Structure 1
Amino acid sequence: CALIKRELLHGCVAGVCRYPLGMSGGQIQDEDISASSQWSESTAARYGRLDFEEGDGAWCPEVTVEPDSQKEFLQIDLRSLHFVTLVGTQGRHAGGIGNEFSQMYKIKYSRDGSRWISWRNRQGQQVIEGNRNAYDIVLKDLEPPIIARFVRFMPVTDHPMNVCMRVELYGCEWLDGLVSYNAPAGEQMSLPAYFNDSVYDGAVIHSMTEGLGQLTDGVCGLDDFSHSHVYNVWPGYDYVGWTNESFPAGFVEIMFEFDRTRNFTTMKVHCNNMFSQHTKAFRQVVCYFRSEADWEPTPLVFNPGEDEQNPRARFVTIDLLHHMASAIKCRFYFADAWMLFSEITFQSDTAMYNTTLAPPKKDDPTHKVDDSNTRILIGCLVAIIFILVVIIVIILWRQVWQKIVEKASRRMLDDELTASLSIQSETLAYTHNQASTSSEQESNSTYERIFPLVPDYQEPSHIMCKLPEEPGSTAASKATTTTIVQEGAPHYAEADIVDLQGVTGSNTYAIPTLVMDLLSGKDIGVEEFPRKLLTFKEKLGEGQFGEVHLCEAKGMQEFMNTEFSFDIPEEQTVLVAVKMLRSDADKNARLDFLKEIKIMSRLKDPNIIRLLAVCIYSDPLCMITEYMENGDLNQFLSHHEPEGFNDLSYMAAHIASGMKYLSSLNFVHRDLATRNCLVGKNFTIKIADFGMSRNLYSGDYYRIQGRAVLPIRWMSWESILLGKFTTASDVWAFGVTLWEILNFCKEQPYSQLSDEQVIENTGEFFRDKKRQIYLPQPELCPDSLYWIMLSCWRRNTKERPSFQEIHRALLEMHP
């Protein structure tokens, strides 16, 4: 099939020479990809392959790229000369964790590895527009194309920034082997038409030396040389031309240098023959051959014959009679006042094929088609057609199979995922036969429960791929399938980020594993509350399927069970938070909402926000939770002066107590911060989950394009880089929350760092080369409290303290 490439390339239709050269396909080996520097081993040059996600997902230079530095580059060695017509670039997103890309770049190339040439477009510009985000692939035509073995991509910025790149090259192998041609500089006709070689990449003074240009750019000139294939250029652009007035000897001499000694069969010269403008193809060419150091004494002479009938441009083919040479010097003799060339190509070695796309003339001895090669071409085409047919059949079969599966899933959803409400019994009847669909979907409830599979990490998003069956089932022990990400994974490896947006938009961390002991039984333990007794005061936030409102509840005390009571008179209204599901929410959202009610009803601790009541007998479904009179801890502390409040460890102990309770249930909060802690009377603190839903705290979350928002400034390194959320990662977040408290929430954690730099800093924790940045000790923080913070931020999760230990230490500081 390579013969097709040869014929297309030599037929002056290089626009179809656009085959990927092997970055994404793997044909280019790792050892042939190098770079000026690398940020880490997992962002080395070999990871700079387009559309690949291995390592950290891209090549990233070691340092921030400065404007006009041009020091950083990603280099590809193609092992041989190639005709490169197109390039593709992409940034690094690493499954939503990364956001680095190069908005601009330059290209340098070399044919021998020593002399490097800066690519310029046909208007002389070097800078190529790159990417606008980390996801999309941007393809750019190289006009003119380049002929090179080595290619460098050099990121360009207009301000200091971090960049990462993935690239691909497209083109064909350069079969001519031509590395340079030397010729007199092109001249100007009085039309005016300029016949200079405007893209020549060698030296141009009075003559052109040691370069390639328009004679090898794959674009053939038109019959009328005053017009061009290229837009916004001058007349004569496609041709390099000379007038006989400048050459008393009557010829123009062009010398061609090749990469090695070759066995030459033909040379093809594309000439203009617009004889009405005194322009004709050459009348004679005399070629000399140099195989070693000396030129052969006897030249080859070829006379094409003049044509004054057909003004069309044409290829003139010269039979080189299998001369062996590493250089050819040809003298082209004028047939009229002007001689214009647009392309010169060579065939050598085994490339003895018909090199035009048009059928050969019967009386032309230079166009002999090898029947065996024709058979090979036909065989290749038949094989390609067969492969395409097989691919189409597979695609159609998969589509049909997918429809069958979808129909089966819908039937299962209709039959199994049901939640029925019984008004007579005033209890919630909830079915548990949902294993097959919950494995495919990620529920979004307030808290997440995990079971220890290994001492260190759990993978919440994959920890339950199938629900446990009913007690007594023999298959129960086989129902749990796990996917564990090894701790040694690259620090920018694509993490399994799940959809963290809750049903109502207020919970960022809750992906339950639907533990059956929590969901067993029909009684949800909370009463139905009359909607008419709720007075809406403020909208706290909203999500895809619902809203969160601050309400006043009248007569709430009458509906509470004996385990919970308000320390306020019965006739006084109570502030509550109401999570409301929109009436148009789909069945899955409704199911998730009921799951959240079930789980919240089981959480009973003085330092955890309680579920008080529900409104589920009619739409919209609502759950009513506590809301503390002093609001969230972040706003509470930020409005207090340090000298007016000195009992911060007491508040921290309340948070630690609540987290100790959650950890005892193997629940993971995933968004512990002062914005998610509510303040009651006497500085009582209760842990909640309203932070994300409030626009006030939108700046605390890093948005991953099209995926989720993450509180990265509170997250542990393994949560950001590996997607692992455990009690140990909650401990890390507690350390940041404690830092917030000691700073009276006057400053955001890592306020001096951008979001991208925060993520980069987690990479330093991963490598553990003592270059990571810790949050500084707050001004009013005693050493003992700062030591607790630092212990929460230990790299090794096993070395971080438990919430039991943290709670005990804080109580000792506050007798």
Structure 2
Amino acid sequence: MLLFLLLILQTSLKGSCTSVSGHCRFPLGMEDGRVKDKDITASSKWYETTGPQFARLNREEGDGAWCPEGQLQHSDSQYLQVDLSVLTFLTLVGTQGRYARGLGKEFARAYRLNYSRDGLTWKAWKNRQGNTVIEGNKNTYAIVYKELHPSIIARYVRLIPVTELSSTVCMRVELYGCPWHDGLISYSAPEGQLMMPPGYPPASLNDSIYDGTHERSCSGGLGQLTDGVVGMDDFLLTHEKQVWSGYDYLGWRNDSQGTQGHVEMEFVFDRQRNFTSMKVHSNNLFTRGVKIFSSVSCWFKPRLIANWEQETVTFRTVLDDRNPSARYVTVPLNQRTAKALRCRFYFADVWMMFSEISFQSGENPHPDLKTSTHGELKVKSNDPTEETNTPILIGCLVTIILLLVVIIFLILWCQCVCKVLEKAPRRILDEEVTIRLSSCSPANTDPHYERVFLLDPQYQNPAVLRNKLPELPQSAEASACGGGYAEPDVTQCTPHQSFHSNAPHYAETDIIRLQGVTGSNMYAVPALTVDSLTRKDISAAEFPRQQLIFREKLGEGQFGEVHLCEAEGLPEFLGEGSPLPDRDSRPVLVAVKQLRADATLQARNDFLKEIKIMSRLDDPNIIRLLCVCVSSDPLCMVTEYMENGDLNMFLSQREIESTLTHANSIPSVSLCDLLHMAVQISSGMKYLASLNFVHRDLATRNCLVDRRLTIKIADFGMSRNLYSSDYYRIQGRAVLPIRWMAWESILLGKFTTASDVWAFGVTLWEIFTLCKEQPYSLLSDEQVIENTGEFFRNQGRQIFLYSPPLCPPSLFEVMMRCWSRNITDRPTFDGIYQTLRRHVRE
């Protein structure tokens, strides 16, 4: 029951996750044309062919970019302006220079960013240290992505190239973010105050990124209450480095001037809205005199020039003196209609601190409809029978309130229980996460924990691990020793222990795991397939390097890079039986993995081994190795690439097919398309499983899509900066896609076909949410790892992903089977493939 309520809570809150900058990184339409030419303007242009409509990332129309007129001087303020049509939460900017098929020489080494929410008042973006200049490009072709810290809320954006010396500049641009559904355009509040806690450093609780005016109070702007950064339980700790204590919170003292007993804030919105609720993230560290507000009263104004309505909405909170965790407090606003709100928050202790405020609302469909303070519906009507419905309505409201009280009690009880979980693994300590890579051998006194991500320094000792962790079931213990799933003699466990026939598709062979040259997780494969070899052992044909024309850098890693290139004459080079589809005389796009010339000898050997592995793969749903360039440095391998890029980007830019999407020319996909994609991925993974290959990083970012919606599984998603937030870094030594990983992979370091099945379930979930959010988007990375501990303990407290609205119930059952705690309960890829094919036929 509790798990069910938590899942309901997670589902109900998922709409608010778009305010979190780490998950709000969708391209806004410069590259794919959703931003129309008429919405891209500029202060000037050099020629018609370098006008603002040509400032689209990765596009080569016209002369290849927007170029302002003349030589740009240091004092100039030439700008490129983009109208996004709606208020948008901006988190990332990507820029390029003018490549022009190799002829361009112009790019912007730096730029500034101005923005506006109404097109009249312009504000200059600055980072958290107050700098306004953003580092730009170093050449004409490579894309440079820059995170906006803090993020901004705007409809209009201006990019202003900056140069120290007189020079010509050109730019191509893409903006990344998501729609700002709150519609909030400004809030006003008293200035935050300085806290001097005894025995602790001072905490400055001011709104340092507020973009309005600061005259005794903050007015006319937005700031830290809408930046998507949720404060921690301890308000002295911050998410940002090199900032002061208390940075994430805006806070006030009860007895200071202007805040005697309460704090008053005003909120102005882009249009009249029907408000359902307000969510306030408030600190509750009561041991230091901080509590959530005791109550709040809100007034409403239907128009800015109108007076405040006399009827208020009043909400009294349930104060908690047992749990010091910061939390969201949801204030119901009873469907009141307004364009502005004024809310008065009353103190419950000496201090009150907020880190985020958001609103849930909709359009006002009935101008004559409003609600009273107590939630009673009032409609203009001449019907004399109207009053007879009042007792029924009151009875319904009382029932709903009682249900809400019960649910809130259960949720609070669950939170208290979660705080006292008695067994590890429980919490990831900052900068204290270590990895133990002890091999499973007779010399190891405890072979059960072959590879454990230690969650506390006391777990360094295997004997302590034995005492601290609950006993694993027999199947998991055997897995940890690299064997099958019969009861093993753990004292004789060796790295070469054979499979057990009961579960051949889960038994882990003695494998070698190659780390790809770009930092990607290379396929884990049987060790016998990657014996030492030299260039002479490479069976793939040597392709003329000069026929590869660079188009874009897809990613990079410690020892190499991945480039998107055009391969001239490749079909003719490969001859009959070429795996390339009919290109309709268009250039052949390929992905080129290139090893850096200064790479280590080990990296060079791994690169050659990777080529040998890739040459074994021959399946219509697996990226194929086409040819190599290894006769001279730098070593290169050439693989297929798809016109539509990766599946994550492809789906995130689309909506589900409907009459509305057709009417507005919105790119769309059908449920049949989604099922077809899922079948292809399961088919490719079935092929890999048949070879005992373990992918270890299956996700939509590692699936490529062509124009016929053919899916091919690849492996270089980790190397792309765009997906850096999908990976969790452990003290700089490893990056792990923990939101896609099975519990045994995170806690025991076990990667098998069964863990790939788990990742397939998450990939299926991504597909049916159209990649609109990250898995477990409401959980931090540390909370995701804590949740895997719940799978380990198997006490019914683990949180699962919710069922996507587009997903048929029978298909969600497939996902849940993929996430089975017991490895042997998970389906095989062959079984998944057959099940999904039946769905397609239905």
TM norm structure 1: 0.44
Please tell me whether Structure 1 or Structure 2 has the larger radius of gyration of its CA atoms: 1
